[in-house]
Structure 1
Amino acid sequence: MYKILVLIALYGVAYGSATCTNPEVTATSYTTKDGTVITNVAFVAEFTLKCSNGASDLPLYAEINGKTFPAVQFDKDHYQVSWVDEISKARSGTYTISLYDEEGYALLRKALRNAEAPSKVSPLFKVELFHPGTYQGPWLNSEFLAVTLSVSVWYLAFSAKSKLLL
């Protein structure tokens, strides 16, 4: 009985903690661009991970601007990282998403806990997400233009009437 438990434990250690070597990543991304009816901007990065050693089904974790998020696996070797940010805080430009395996994530958490820079821990790989910015509507609302035009027409009509009566 003891030998069976040891064999199961060795199997779990040998095959359960596979690490990815020479990762090949292809990524796509999406961000919310229309901010006229929303309060938060959504960021979504999907990527496919191929490892040269054949490792798959890896738990991955993402670090974006000092915040950590889990990477969700939704298909074999397909992952997704998503987060939201307030419109006022969501800057336009490129966001770098650093992805870590379990070992790297443990080192990252230790670095963050000790108030060290996350850049001290090297990620498994990085993915870039480009956000072009969020459209927050025209500079002048149509209601303002309609009221301004109405007041202008009324003023011109009233002025013309006053000149005719004099």
Structure 2
Amino acid sequence: MKSFIVLFIATLVVSAASAESCQKPKVEASAYVTEDATVLTKIAFTTQFTLQCSNGVKGISLYAEVNGKALPAVKLSADNKYQVSWTEDIKKAHSGDYSVKLYDEEGYSAIRKAYRNAEDPSSVKPLAVVVVNNPGVYLGPWINSEFLAVLLAALVSYTAFSAKSKLLA
């Protein structure tokens, strides 16, 4: 029984050591950002990308980091398609580019270690970086239609009463 356990652990160690990493990654990405925030409290960001490695490795577990938040990259299909999604409060979200740094398991553990030890995480090189552009969000018109209707009703009432008082005088 002991020899079986030792053999099992040795097999795990050898398989983990022989796991290939992605060499010279190429990323093709597309993104979607919520642009109409008239009734929302958060903005949704989604990016889908295809990862191609020069050494042909497929099925890598990927993780992403955006503005200090660690996120999992969800694998969508067998041809190395992934997706990363997150939300931000409307008041905290800025227009412009967001860098989505992609890490494999080794890089992700190094990032977590850097955060845990209060070290600079920028020393860990990402596998690839995807840029998501936020063009800004529409927060609605400057003047609400209800306010404009009340303002116009008050103006019409004032004009009508002024004309009536001039006719009676």
Structure-1 separation of matches of 2:115 and 2:16: 27
2:41 to 39, 42, 49: 39
TM normalised by structure 2 equals 0.91
- Contact 1:62–1:98 (8 Å) recurs in 2: yes
| 1:109–1:33 CA distance, 2 compared to 1 (3 A) | same
Please tell me the root mean square deviation across aligned C-alpha atoms, in Å: 1.8
Structure-2 separation of matches of 1:118 and 1:32: 29
- Give aligned-pair identity as a percent: 52
Point out where structure 1 has 5 or more consecutive residues left out of the alignment: none
SS at match of 2:73: strand
Structure-2 separation of matches of 1:14 and 1:108: 20
- Contact 1:18–1:58 (8 Å) recurs in 2: no
* Pair 1:110 & 2:117 matched: no
Please report how far the alpha carbon of residue 115 of structure 1 lies from its aligned counterpart in structure 2 after TM superposition: 1.4
For 1:9-158, what aligned pairs fall within 5 Å after superposition?
9=12, 12-13=15-16, 17-76=19-78, 77-158=80-161
Please report how far the alpha carbon of residue 39 of structure 1 lies from its aligned counterpart in structure 2 after TM superposition: 1.0
Ranges of 4+ aligned residues in structure 1 off by more than 2 Å: 1-15
- Contact 1:49–1:78 (8 Å) recurs in 2: yes
Structure-2 separation of matches of 1:118 and 1:158: 70
Could you list the per-position Cα deviations for residues 26-74 of structure 1 after superposition, in whole angstroms to 9, with x for gaps in the alignment? Answer: 0000010000111110000110001011111100110111110010101
- Aligned amino acid, residue 25 of structure 1: V
The aligned length equals 165
